[in-house]
Structure 1
Amino acid sequence: MIITISGQVGSGKSTIGKELAKKLKYRYISMGEVFKKLAKEKNMNLTEFLKYAEKNLKVDKEIDESQKNPGQNCILDSRMGFYFANPDLKIWLKAPLEVRAKRIAKRESFKNEENIKEKIKEREKAERERYMRMYSVDIFDKNNYDLIIDTAEYNINQVVEKIISAVKQKFAVKNLYK
C-alpha cells in the first residue's frame, strides 16, 4: 500500500508521516528532505532554493520523477505525491495559520511569528503557482484527497489512529471486491 501525505506548510506532515510509518512498519520517504538536501548542496536556504526551483523547472521535474515508483508499503510525504505515486490513500493535513506559525517558530527557533506567517503565505503561493503552471494541478484542491484532517484538533497519536482507521477501511473495501 502507498499512502501519500500532503498538506499545508507546518501542518505536521513529517511528524505524522514518520509516526505512521513506524506504526505500520512502512518506509518513510520525504520529498521535503530531498528538497532541503538539494538546497544545502547549492548552499541556499529553503526560500532561496524555492525561488531557484521556480525558474529552473528541471529541479521539480527531477524530484517529481523520483515519486512515480516509490515501491510498496511506504508513506510518501510530498506535496505532489497524490498526483505522481498512484497511491492507495491520499491524505491532506491542514491547520490554522497561527498554529502552523507557532509550530515552525518552535521547530526552527524563530521569534517573530508574524514574519513566519508571511513566509508561509509566500511559500504556499509560490508552490501553488508552480504546480499549476507545470501540471495544471492545484495542490490545495481538497478533491484530490481521500482524507482531510485538521491537525490542530487532535494530537499526533489521534491523527495517526484516524489514518490507520482509514487504511483498515480501505483494505476491507479492497478485499470485498477481490
Structure 2
Amino acid sequence: MPTIGVLALQGDVREHLRMLTEAGATATAVRRPGELEAVDALVIPGGESTTMWKLAETFDLLEPLRIRVKDGMPAYGSCAGMIMLADRIQDGIAGQQTVGGIDMVVRRNAFGRQVDSFEEDLDFAGQMIRAVFIRAPWVESVGPDVEVLGLAEPGDRIVAVRQGPLLATSFHPELTGDTRVHAYFVDMVRGSSR
C-alpha cells in the first residue's frame, strides 16, 4: 500500500487525506522536509497558490519539493496544486514561483472569482465525473509530452492533465465524495513503483 502525503500548508488537506484512504493508500500530512522524504507520492491541494508558494518557502519545502518531483516522485495537484505543478503561469503575482514539472501554461483564476464557482459533469480519463470548480485555473497550452485527460465548458478548456508521474486537475474531486480521481492517482503511484 503506497504512502501518499498531502501538502498540509493550506487548503483541503483533511478531504484529500480521507479520499486517499478510501482509494486504498496510506495517507499522511506533510509539513516538513523530513515528512516529504518519507512518502512515496504527494498531493498538493487546492487553496491559494501565492499563499501556498510563500508557505512552502517559509517551511523550507519549496526546493525539496522541486527535487522530489524532478527525481520522479508522483504528484497530484488540484486547483492551486495544478498551478504549483505548472512550469509556467499566467496572471500570477510578481515573482510567483511554482514547483513545476508539467510542461504547461496555467492561467490563475481563469474561470473567474469565488462567486463564479460552478459544478459540471465532464469526462475525466474516460469516466464521467462531477467536477467542482472554485476560482479555478485552466490550462492555456501543453507541451508534446502532456496528456489531456479532461475538458470543461466554456470552449473545451483543458482542466485535467498528466505528464508521466504527475497529474493535475483544475477542479476539486475531494469535495464530491467520488474517489475515482484519487483512485486513478493511487494506481499511478503503484505503477511507478514497479
TM-score after normalising by structure 2: 0.38
TM-score after normalising by structure 1: 0.40
Structure with the largest fraction of helix = 1
Structure with the largest fraction of strand = 2
| Bigger relative contact order (CA 8 A; separation at least 6) | 1
